[in-house]
Every structure is written in structure tokens, then in C-alpha cells.
Amino acid sequence: MNRIEKALMHALFTHLHHNTDKAIDFKAIDALNKKVEKLFPKAVLVGPGDDAAAFKFPGAQGAFVGKMESHCSPCVPRPYDAAATGAGGAMRDVVAMGARPLFLMNFIGTRPLEDKVLVGPCGFTGKCTCGECVEMTSGERVNLMVKGLRDMCRAMDVFIVGGGFSTSFSDIVPATVVAVFGKLVTARPLTKPAKSAGDQIILIGKTGSDGNDTLYRAGLVGEMKPARARFKVERAVMEASLAAFHSGKIKACSDLGAAGIGAAVCESARYGGFGAQVDLAKAPVWEKSLTPEEIMICETQARMVLQVAKKDVEAVLKAVRAKKVRAEVIGQINRDDKQVFEYNGKTVAEIPNAPTQAQLKELVSG
């Protein structure tokens, strides 16, 4: 494994963000849902495991989508952007299922309001050595987090309908957790797994160097740079995605969150039982200086990945571009058992659907 392969494979197969089943007994949850389903048949359309949950209220028309997400660690260096992108990320997960987000609830947990906290790149150590950090009270940091949540909801026209708050936290990292609910606008929920070999992978939105959390955890960069909130772009990408959905031609869809393009493509292909080929040079970028590794794995906000049949590509691209949003074909699904990422003809990474035991041992040890 080269370094970028190791970073992405660690995120996909070891880190709990992508492997919550290692910490939570989903079989017990599935058993509970099956029990309740006897009272409310077909209420759950998509349960745990996809970008968000899709469900029906007994007796109500239409279907709904819900997602909960946290952006806790990024609140240390960038509380405003972290809270905003946490909300935006949960909204995108709802959109990825084919729904328009409507309502948000949030929880914030922090140290006592009068406690001093360090906000900036050195926040995790508690002592500034970069000269860029700011000391403030926990209460002042909370205000930044609330403002970030509010500004994202304002940009996306989403209600804030409630939540929770606690000052009993003692850790350096505060908690910001959001739950977003929306109304399905597609005929049925869109799902993440790839559906057919030959389907084209379309990336909506531009990639930047921000949101390098996966690279930071892998030791490939020295400073965590959480994703920046891109309010107007986030709204534009949502409207462009919904316009694409109305074409009725989307076969698979995924929000780009943790580990970016790399994770979105790998999970979709693997869950569908396929492989994929991706040309990272075709991804629209915010900065021309981006490395292939950054394009592959950074978590820049306001992006979505769609999969459509080759014959439908132009119609989908036309719908997206009509909203003045960039969209490009960056690859295709194939019948392989791995995902290959290239840049200008050079292989950047090959990610297997099923790592060997030796690879898994290396991921855990390193």
C-alpha cells in the first residue's frame, strides 16, 4: 500500500466513521425494526447503512428522510465553519436520498460557559505555537457554533425546530450534533450502492484543499484544515441535484462527506458488488495547485456524486448546468473488484473491495 491507499483504506475499513457496525449491534436494531414493522408495515423504506434513513408516517402521504451528523473535532480549530458544515453535511445526506431538507434539530455540548478555550490550529494541544489561535470563553465559542448552524439553515431555507444544550463537557472537543428531516421528491429513495457496470460517475461541484481530516489522521499533513462553509454554493448544489433527480435518470447517488471522492466511489461500488475507474484530473477544482491525493480524499463541502446510464449523461449534465453549477463525468462503474483512481494516466491508488488479512493488520498497526 502506498500512503494515500493506506489513508483511504484506514478510513473505509478501520475508522469507526465508516464502520459503526463494529461499535453498534445493528442486528439488534434490525430485530427491533422488524418487531415494530408488524404494527406499521412498510414504514421503513431505507434503514441504517445508507446516506440517510427514508420512512413513511403511517396514514401520511409521501415519504420522508432523516439524518443525524456530528462535526465535533473540527469545532476546535474552526467552530463556526464546523457547525455550519455539520448542518450542511446532514442536509446533503438528506438530498442524496432524493429529498429536500426542511427541518433541523441540534445539540451542543461544551465546557462551562466561563471556561477559557483555545480556538485555532493548536486547539487540540491547549497551547498556541502558531500565533494564529484565539483564546475565548466556552460561551463565546458556543455563539460561533450557533451562528454557523443558523447561517447554514438560512442559506438552505431550513427551519430550526429545537434541540438540546449541555455545559457538562470536560473534553477539549465540544459536541455539535444535528438531525435534519426532509420530504422525498423522487418516486422512490435514491440509494448509494452502484447498480450497473458501465454507468457513468458524475461529480457535481468543485473540490478544494479544505476538509483534509482523513489526510491529517493518516499523518500525511501536519495541520487539520476542516472544510469551509460555502453557503451560496451549498444551496446551488442542492438545487442542481434536485433538478437532476427530476430527470428520473439517477441510478445511484451519494453525498461527498468524510474521505471525499475516494470514499463515495469506493463505498458505492463495493456495496453494489462492482468496481470503478476514476480520472481525478477531470474533477473540477477550486485551486489549480491541488495534488491528486487532495482531489481524491479532501472533504470539501457542496458536492454530490451521481451515477447514470451512459445514454442519459447529457440530459443529467444539462439539468445540473442549467443551475449554473459545475458537473463533470469523472469515471465509470465496472465489473472489477477494486476501485482505481488515476491522474493524467498515472495510477494514484487502487482500493480493493476486500482487503487481505495482511493489509487489515497493517492498517491497524500503522
Count of CB atoms situated within 10 Å of the CB of 364: 10
Asked whether residue 162 falls in the same domain as residue 197, the answer is no
Q: Which of the listed residues 189, 220, 253 is the one where a domain comes to its end?
A: 189
Asked whether residue 226 falls in the same domain as residue 345, the answer is yes
Which letter does DSSP use for residue 98 in this model?
T
Domain annotation covers residue 32: no
Q: Which of the listed residues 189, 218, 245 is the one where a domain comes to its end?
A: 189
Residue 157: domain span:
42-189
> What pTM value is reported for the model?
0.94
Domain annotation covers residue 29: no
Which helix (H) or strand (E) is 118 found in, with range? strand 116-119
Domain annotation covers residue 119: yes
Domain annotation covers residue 2: no
Collapsed DSSP state (helix, strand, coil) of residue 221 = coil
Domain annotation covers residue 20: no
Most distant CA pair in the chain: distance in Å? 60
Sites in the chain below the pLDDT cut of 50: none
pLDDT at residue 217, as a whole number: 77
Asked whether residue 216 falls in the same domain as residue 306, the answer is yes
Asked whether residue 103 falls in the same domain as residue 143, the answer is yes
Asked whether residue 230 falls in the same domain as residue 163, the answer is no
List the Cα angle 209/182/45 in 5-degree steps: 105
Q: DSSP for 298-338? A: ---SS-EEEEE-GGGHHHHHHHHHTTT--EEEEEEEESSSE
Instruction: Please write the tens of the pLDDT for every residue from 45-55.
Output: 999 888 999 99
Count of CB atoms situated within 10 Å of the CB of 20: 11
Domain annotation covers residue 13: no
pLDDT at residue 366, as a whole number: 59
Question: Which residue, chain included where needed, has cell 469551509?
Answer: 228
**How many domains in the chain?**
2
Asked whether residue 140 falls in the same domain as residue 205, the answer is no
The 8 Å CB, 24+ separation contacts for 359-362 are 359/1, 359/9, 360/13, 360/14, 362/1, 362/6
